[in-house]
């Protein structure tokens, strides 16, 4: 279980180490990249740097979730050393949180800076308070994941359950409308915001969806509140051992066979996210860095991951259309 919790903690909290890097090939417009440290972040950052380095001066800071004060000071050093950039790219929720805190303390300095965010969950709320944002959503549309999974499993997926908090109600309602067009009905059960009641509420909701009114699959929202390690270990996993259902998730770590949790995931490609972020930077420059407000873009490229061990709980191995999947885990 300790390994399981480490995997989930790394995945959902986007923990990182500190480091500072600069690429100063030309003294043109400056772009700062503030990022967490980890495989998917590194992939996105590398592609972003490859796309931008010939036309922009790039400075990079890696931050640590466990050292918020130091991280903010590192951002301050970055600005004091390199001046005011045209754009800041934030990779991961930790980077968004740290920059938001920095903005609140340096409103005049950051007012005109363009911001691009990638690999962050729930970006509309995460970036609230940051001016001039272009965000790329990390949440794959529910209908995309479910239709893809239905094709892989080669079985009807007509009723799908989902647990969500009030903050996600509008998102679930919107996704449900898209799913109906594919003849998939979403049965959503709302969980309150009182963390002291989450264990009981999640337990009761899973009983409803797995036993009383059984669904064909569960779609798991990328909500690190409902997927806290203690809830995962004490509620989700025990409930799903008793009553099995395919789980469609939105984070690759959750389909790790060692975790024995998720069955299938459709996830934005981190390399493509880096390329897409670079395209946004070029567009911002072309428009004279004049973007205002918050714009959320869908990810342009995704890949699918199948946990074969879990999938064979619901169909025979020979029935799985693994050729439909980008990555198969055994």
pLDDT digits (tens, 9 = 90+) for 46-64: 999 999 999 999 999 887 6
d(CA 192, CA 212): 21
Cα–Cα–Cα angle for 237, 66, 86, rounded to 5 degrees: 110
What pLDDT, on the 0 to 100 scale, is given for residue 241? 87
Inform me whether the pLDDT recorded for 26 exceeds 80. no
Strand boundaries in 140-203, DSSP class E: 159-165, 185-191
Q: List the domain boundaries for the chain.
A: 2-139+270-302, 142-249
Q: How many CA atoms lie within 13 A of 25 on its CB side?
A: 11
Inform me whether the pLDDT recorded for 69 exceeds 80. no
| 236-258 tens-digit pLDDT | 999 998 888 999 999 888 999 99
The stretches of 83-168 forming alpha helices (DSSP H) are 93-105, 107-110, 123-126, 142-153
| 113-136 tens-digit pLDDT | 999 999 998 888 899 999 999 999
pTM of the model: 0.83
Sign of CA dihedral 177, 180, 184, 188: positive
Report, as an integer, the average pLDDT of 147-168: 92
Report, as an integer, the average pLDDT of 210-223: 92
CATH number of 2-139+270-302: 3.40.50.2300
Contact 284, 87 (CB under 8 A): yes
Give the mean pLDDT of the chain. 88
| 286-295 tens-digit pLDDT | 999 999 999 9
What pLDDT, on the 0 to 100 scale, is given for residue 77? 84
Yes or no: is domain 142-249 CATH 3.40.50.2300?
A: yes
Strand boundaries in 144-280, DSSP class E: 159-165, 185-191, 217-219, 247-249, 264-268
Q: pLDDT over 90 for what percent of the chain?
A: 69
Strand boundaries in the chain, DSSP class E: 19-23, 30-35, 57-62, 87-91, 114-118, 133-136, 159-165, 185-191, 217-219, 247-249, 264-268, 294-297, 302-307, 327-329
Q: Do domains 2-139+270-302 and 142-249 have the same CATH topology?
A: yes
């Amino acid at each position: 279980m300790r390994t399981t919790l480490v995997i989930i903690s790394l995945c959902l909290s986007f923990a990182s180490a500190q480091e500072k890097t600069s690429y100063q090939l030309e003294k043109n417009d400056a772009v700062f990249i503030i990022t967490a440290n980890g495989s998917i972040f590194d992939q996105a950052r590398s592609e972003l740097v490859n796309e931008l380095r010939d036309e922009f001066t790039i400075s990079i800071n890696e931050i640590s979730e466990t050292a918020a004060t130091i991280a903010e000071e590192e951002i301050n050093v970055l600005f004091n050393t390199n001046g005011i950039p045209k754009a800041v790219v934030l990779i991961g929720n930790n980077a968004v949180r740290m920059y938001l805190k920095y903005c609140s303390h340096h409103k005049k300095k950051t007012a005109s800076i363009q911001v691009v965010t990638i690999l962050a969950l729930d970006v509309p709320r995460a970036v609230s308070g940051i001016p001039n944002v272009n965000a790329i959503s990390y949440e794959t549309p529910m209908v995309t994941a479910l239709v893809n999974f239905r094709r892989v499993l080669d079985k009807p997926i007509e009723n799908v359950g989902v647990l969500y908090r009030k903050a996600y109600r509008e998102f679930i309602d919107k996704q449900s409308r898209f799913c109906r067009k594919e003849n998939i009905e979403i049965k959503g059960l709302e969980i309150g915001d009182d963390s002291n009641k989450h264990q009981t509420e999640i337990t009761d909701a899973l009983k409803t969806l797995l036993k009383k009114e059984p669904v064909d699959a569960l779609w798991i929202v990328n909500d690190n509140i409902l997927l806290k390690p203690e809830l995962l270990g004490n509620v989700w996993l025990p409930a799903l051992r008793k009553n099995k259902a395919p789980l469609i998730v939105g984070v690759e770590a959750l389909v790790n066979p060692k975790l024995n949790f998720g069955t299938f995931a459709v996830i934005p490609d981190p390399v493509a996210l880096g390329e897409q972020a670079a395209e946004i930077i070029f567009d911002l420059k072309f428009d004279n860095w004049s973007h205002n407000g918050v714009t959320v873009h869908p990810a342009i490229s995704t890949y699918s991951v199948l946990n074969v061990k879990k999938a064979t709980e619901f169909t025979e191995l020979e029935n799985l259309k693994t050729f439909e999947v980008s990555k198969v885990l055994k």
